[in-house]
Every structure is written in C-alpha cells, then in structure tokens.
Structure 1
Amino acid sequence: MSARAGLKAAAIAVALAAALSACKGPDPAQAQAQKPGKPEEAAVDAVPVEVVPASRRAIAASYTGTAALEPRAESQVVAKTSGVALEVLVEEGQHVKAGQPLVRLDPDRARLAVAQAEAQLRKLENNYHRARQLAEQQLISAGEVDQMRYDLENARAHYNMTRLELSYTTVVAPISGVVASRSIKAGNFVQINTPIFRIVDTSRLEATLNVPERELSTLKAGQPVSLQVDALPGRTFQGVVDRVAPVVDSGSGTFRVVCAFAGDDGLQPGMFGRLRIDYDQRADALVVPRVALLDDQAEPAVYTVRDSKAVRVPVKLGYSDGEWSEIRDGLEEGEPVVTAGKVALRDGSVVHVIGGSDGMAGKATAAASAGSRQ
C-alpha cells in the first residue's frame, strides 16, 4: 500500500470514531456534573431519643419530710432523798413498769425519824383527848383545847412527812418503758435530786415535721404516714398523723405536724427517717415520668413524637408521686413522651426513637401518629 493510501485510511478511521461518539451522546456522570441547578441540600441528622407512653395508674398526693424519732414519754429518775444505795435492781435495756422498784437506799435514818414522829403524835393525841374531857368539865379553857388540836394536826403532818421520806428510800419507775441509761452502782452515796436513771417509753414513737404554711389546709390528724429509716433499709413502717398544730410560727412560716408510730419491729428513739404523708388518692390518673417534664422556666410541657418529629406540648400538671407526675390536660393515654434526649430537641426537630423494650418505641410512635390523625 502506498503512503497516500495509508493516510487516507487513517482519516477515515478518525471520522468513524467521531461519528460513533456523537451517536452515543454525552456521558451521564459528566452531564449530571455539568447540569445547572440548585446545590444539593445537606441531609438532616435525626436526634436519638427515648420515649415512654403516657399511662394510667394510681397516684397519691403527698407531703414528704425528714425527722428523728422521739419517745412519746421520757423520764429522768432522780433520788428524792439522800442515802447509800444498798441495791440496784435494774440494768440498762431492761423493760420496767410504772411503780417498779429500781434502787433501794439505806432506810435506817428515815425509819428512826418515822418512829420519833409517831411517838410525838401518840403523845399529842392522848393529851388532846384528855383536854377535851377537861373542857367538858370546864376545867380548862376552849382556847387551850384549840391549841392542843393545832399541835396534834401539826404532829400528824410531820408524821406523814417522815413516812413519805421513808418511801423515797425505794426509788421507783415513774413511767413504763426501757431503762436507757443508769448512773448509779450499789454502794454509791446518792444526793437528793441526783439523776440516776433515764427511762424512755418506746411503745409509741413520734416524729415532728415543721411544714410550710401552704400545706395547712391539706394535712389533718388521722392521715396515713409511711416511714423509712436509714438504720433499717428496705423496710417501710406505717403510722398516722397524731396531731397538727393550729398555729403557724410567724418567724419560720411553718407549723408542727406530729406523726405517731408503734414502737415495734426494731424502731428505736433517735433513728432518723424519711416520712411521707398521703393526703389524697387518685385511682386512675394519667401519668408520665417526671423526667419527661421540660426543665425550662416556661409553662409545664413535654416533648411528644408525631411523624418522626418532636412536638412541644404544654400540659396541666396534677399530683406528683415519686417518679411519676399526673397530667390533667394536654396528653392522651398511650401518647409517647420523650424521657431521654430532650435537651437537644427543639419544636419540630427530626427524631429517631431508640431504646425501650422490643417494639415499645415503634408502638409508642404509632400510637402518637394515630392520635395526631384523630
């Protein structure tokens, strides 16, 4: 083949390639890249949240506070006379009854005083009887008889006083209860008015709350009270409101509420406890977890989920009971409320429901969507 023929064949091949390229049209990727229009919008990231459906349950209106348990009755036993303790009859921790002997003091001096007073009394009684006989015979004046009668009465009072002093040599329990402390031993000399025992009545314990005056109309005597103490974890004790002070302290703006508990099952004076007074009950209240309530300073509200978006819903609150809050208005039963992730939400934020039990998130979202369509 000549050179001229080769050049001609090359030109034909180039022309065929150009024609084929024109038939195929432009490359789709290049066309898409070169196509004029708006820039592609960035995808919105969904906020992950956890939800719980609004449900119905019993809820109680209550007031809570803390206080220490105190015995309803307590006595510091003191010696009413002086003397040597011959015998100590009880020990710490022992239960005693009112009138039970606790200590016997040396009674010898008191017995001698009783004997002396009794002798003087008998002498004056005889003198008075003789004087009355003489007065009937008009041998002595009526004034002398009156004076002897006064002396007799004075001697009788002195005699009774010595007998009382003798009784004081046996120290008895003024109340029933438990011996909380003892500060005497056999052989000790006891001075008059010296405390030697402390007795507390543990059959009934009291806890006093200082309650704000706004609760004055809600707390009444007889309302149930539950008590939990740190010393006995996992146990709840039941009691009642025993009495409510009718006067508000002007300095603190509080009034006293005294709750009473039976002193059994391990409760002891001095234990520190948390008290809850239930003053109203609602058997079928619509409730949501308290963590679902928004923390901002606006009106009470929660976030619900509708069509995969967060919707801020104002609500009217009722009672609060532990971790639950009653919803009086704003939500329907089964409507989901956001319990986790609400800090990152705004009204209309796209959300992705996660967590919960199997199918719970989907059921809650479906229920919310159905409720919004109605």
Structure 2
Amino acid sequence: MNITSIGALVGLGLLGACSPGTEPVQEDIRPVHSTVAGASEGSVGATYSGVVHARYESRLGFQASGRVVARLVDVGSEVRRGQPLLRLDPAQETLHLVAAGADVEAARARVAQNRTDLERTEQLLARRFASQAEVDQQRLALDQAEAQLKSALAQHQIKVNQRGYTELLADRAGVISAIDAEAGQVVSAGQPVVTLAAAGEREVVVSVPESRVDELREARSLQVSVWAQPGRTYRGTLRELAPDTDSVTRTYSARIAIVDADAALRLGMTASVFAADVEGRRAIRLPLTAVVHRSDRAEVWVVDPQTARVAPREVRLGSAQGDQVLVAAGLSGGETVVTAGVHMLVAGQAVRMPAAPAAVAQSERKAVQP
C-alpha cells in the first residue's frame, strides 16, 4: 500500500470521528417559577358588594283618600315618633264629622222622648187607663232608641278617626329616605307616600349568586367596610337570607347586620362584606397560573425534589378569589408546584427553578468572604 492510500484512509477515519451522529445530545432544561404548596386555615375569602340600609323601613300611607295640601318634611329630615309628615284636605272629612254629630243628637232626642213616653204609659197603667201591652211596646221603643244612640256614637267616633287620618304621622323616630307625593296630588287610602328609615340598627343588603349561598351561610366571621371610611371595618353577622331568588337577577338577597355601627355609617353608602374563612378548614391556595385545564379535569405540575423533573397531578378546585384558587383535593401540602411556564412542559421534563432570595444572598456573602 502506498503512502497516498494510507493518507486517504486516515482522512476518512478523521471524518468519521467528527460525524454529527456521534456528538452527545444535550437535554433541554426549561426554567420555571414555582411555589411550595402549604395548607392554611381559611385560606380563601369571599367579598360581596352591597348598600347600607336601616334594619326597619316603613312605607307609610294615609288611611283615607284625598288631596295632599301640605308636605311638612323633606327627604333627609330627622323626625320623631308622632311628628306630622303630610296633610290632606280636611274639608270632606269635616263635613262627615258634622253629619255624624247631628245623627248623635237626633238619637239622644229619640231616647229622651221614648223614656218620657214610657213613664207616662206606666202612670196610666197604674190608674188603669193603659194596658200592659202598651207599656211593653213603649219599653221596646226605648230599647231601640238606645241601640240607635250607641250606633250613632260609634259612627261619630269613626268620623273623628277619619278626620285624624287626614294627617300622616311618623310611626317611629328615624330619617325620611323617600317621598312619593307632593302638594296637590290626590292619593288613595293605603298608597305608600313616605319611606321612613328607623334610627338605630344598620345592615348591608347584598345579592348572592346561587353558587355562593352555602359559603356565606357557613362563614364564621364577616367584616364590613365602606368606601367612605377606608381602613375602618365593622363586625357583621348574617341576619337574613332570602329563601328564593329575585325574579330578574336570579340572585339571593342577604341582609348582614352591622354589630358595632356608628354615626359614620349613612344610609345608601356602598359597602363590602368580606368573609375571611368561607372554607372553615385547612386548605391549599395556589395562583391561577399554576392550573392547567384539560377537557374535564384540572392539573398542576409537581416537581420531584430529587430529580428536578415534573409530573402532572390531577387536582380538584374549590372557590377562587382574585388571582388565586383553592385546591380542595389532590395536594397534601409541601409539594413544589410550577406556577409559570406550565403550558410548555411535558411529563418527565427537567426544570430549573430560580434560587430563593435567601439562598442567593447567602452565596453572595460567601463569595465576598476572604
């Protein structure tokens, strides 16, 4: 074999050694963000928006019909019990009262006349100029006259009451929150014309969707805050929960009593009710970015601390608030869960997680030590 053949063989060997097929394959290690799943008591809360109302609100109306001649209060007026609010024209009721008084006087006159007739007939009976039947007839007439007098007196009292019904009075102390009648307007008996919010107890009225009724009912504590008083919170308790939904909004109305209400709470203020522990048990909370939804199930990526590789794990989700969600089942606590980059992972893939701030600081201190 000549020198030229030997050189060719050596060159082919070198080319084979440098072939791409013999290079080692480098595994793709994907950087991710993660968190350690930890259980906490009452880890998810719920917030409901509502409006401050008085616990007792009266929609007042006249007990008689007529034309309004005077409005004696304005919206926002503070009133005391028995204070006049509106007044009807009393002319018609005054005439009825006069007529009833005349009927009473006529009935009294009939009673007096029948009593006199009875006495005369009894005297004639004693002198045998009248019969016993005539006496009995006079007694019956007297009884009828006395019954008619009682009826006339009762009718007169009714007219007196009707005359009093021309003035609408406050049934309790409070604040006028609405007036639905003006001077000159004709109103009917029983028509609501004034809304009176009673002084004292205050509560928040909220609308609750049907999916969150149970969590509000089971909440162990409620906190109430208003926009007008930032940083100030009040203690609340669930006083009333409607048994049926509103026909329009399809939500349940709930009334949250404010236990420590003060003068700063004004009617109509926008309020928020926060239930800090709607779950009432130890639970795990994760960012929404950690959850991957696949058809009809939810999964998270759990990192093996020994191999730094990920594996999918199915979880059951609970309530959500803001950018976090409650994990009701699937995690026991202590697992390292990927929170960013979940859609780019595959089972068994190696990942690299940024060092914790404490670890980075410690390594930097070691680097600067002499």
TM superposition score normalised by structure 2: 0.67
> Does the C-alpha gap of structure 1 residues 104 and 281 become closer, same or farther in structure 2, counting only changes over 3 Å?
same
Deviation larger for 172-181 or 341-350: 172-181
Alignment of 1:137-176 (within 5 A): 137=122, 138=135, 140-174=137-171, 176=173
Shift of 1:77: 3.5
Confirm or deny: 8 A CA contact 1:302 1:313 kept in the other structure: yes
Aligned partner of residue 149 in structure 2, secondary structure: helix
Letter in 2 for 1:241: L
The RMSD of aligned alpha carbons is 4.7
Residue of 2, 14, 17 corresponding to 1:35: 17
Residue aligning to 1:55: 38
Aligned residue number for residue 268 of structure 1: 267
Letter in 1 for 2:78: H
- Give the 5 Å matches for 1:135-284: 135=118, 137=122, 138=135, 140-174=137-171, 176-182=173-179, 188-193=183-188, 196-201=193-198, 203-205=201-203, 207=205, 209=207, 211-212=209-210, 220=217, 224-226=221-223, 238-244=235-241, 256=252, 258-262=254-258, 265-266=264-265, 268-269=267-268, 271=270, 276=275, 280-282=279-281, 284=282
Deviation at 1:122, TM superposition (A): 3.9
Q: Name stretches of at least 5 consecutive residues in structure 2 with no aligned partner.
A: 4-10, 123-134, 364-370
Q: 1:127 aligns with which of 99, 107, 110?
A: 110
- Over residues 222-274 of structure 1, what are the superposed CA-to-partner deviations in whole Å (9 max), with x where a residue is unaligned? 9644556778777665433323456x77x99x884533333764353485867
- Whichever residue aligns with residue 260 of structure 1, its letter is I
Amino acid paired to 1:92: V
Aligned position for 2:6:
none
The separation in 2 between residues aligned to 1:63 and 1:261, in whole angstroms, is 17
Report the alpha carbon displacement of residue 276 of structure 1 after superposing the two structures with TM: 4.8
Gaps of 5+ in 1: 1-17, 19-28, 364-374
Superposed, 1:106-125 pairs within 5 Å as: 107=90, 110-111=93-94, 113-125=96-108
* TM-superposition CA deviations, 1:305-358 (whole Å, max 9, x none): 23232222344656666624246554442x321111111111122222138644
Given residue 325 of structure 1, which amino acid in structure 2 is its aligned partner?
L
* CA distance 1:315–1:198, shift in 2 (3 Å): closer
* SS of corresponding position for 1:164: helix
Structure-1-length-normalised TM-score: 0.66
Counterpart mapping for 1:285-304 below 5 A: 285-297=283-295, 299-304=297-302
Matches of 1:361 and 1:320 in 2, distance apart?
A: 35
The question of whether the paired residues in 2 share the 8 Å contact of 1:117 and 1:159 is answered with yes
Worse overlay, 72-81 or 298-307:
72-81
* Higher normalized strand content (fraction of residues): 1
Describe the shift of the 1:328–1:40 C-alpha distance in structure 2 as closer, same or farther (beyond 3 A): same
The alpha-carbon deviation at position 213 of structure 1 amounts to: 8.0
Give the equivalent residue in structure 2 for 1:312.
312
Going from structure 1 to structure 2, the CA distance change for 1:278 and 1:51 (only over 3 Å counts) comes to: closer
Structure-2 separation of matches of 1:222 and 1:96: 37
Corresponding residue for residue 369 of structure 1: none
Question: Are the aligned partners of 2:59 and 2:193 in contact in 1 as well (CA < 8 Å)?
Answer: no
CA distance in 2, matches of 1:195, 1:285: 51
Amino acid in the other structure paired with 1:297:
S
Partners of 1:56 and 1:287 within 8 A in 2: yes
In the alignment, the residues of structure 2 paired with residue 209 and residue 355 of structure 1 have an alpha-carbon distance, to the nearest angstrom, of 45
**Cα separation, 2, equivalents of 1:58 and 1:145:** 86
Q: Do the aligned partners of 1:213 and 1:255 also contact (CA within 8 Å) in 2? A: no
C-alpha contact (below 8 Å) 2:210/2:252 kept by paired residues: no
Counterpart check, 1:336 vs 2:336:
yes
How many corresponding residue pairs? 331
Question: Secondary structure of 1:303's partner?
Answer: strand
Secondary structure of 2:82's aligned partner? coil
Cα separation, partners in 2 of 1:289 and 1:359, compared to 1, 3 Å: farther
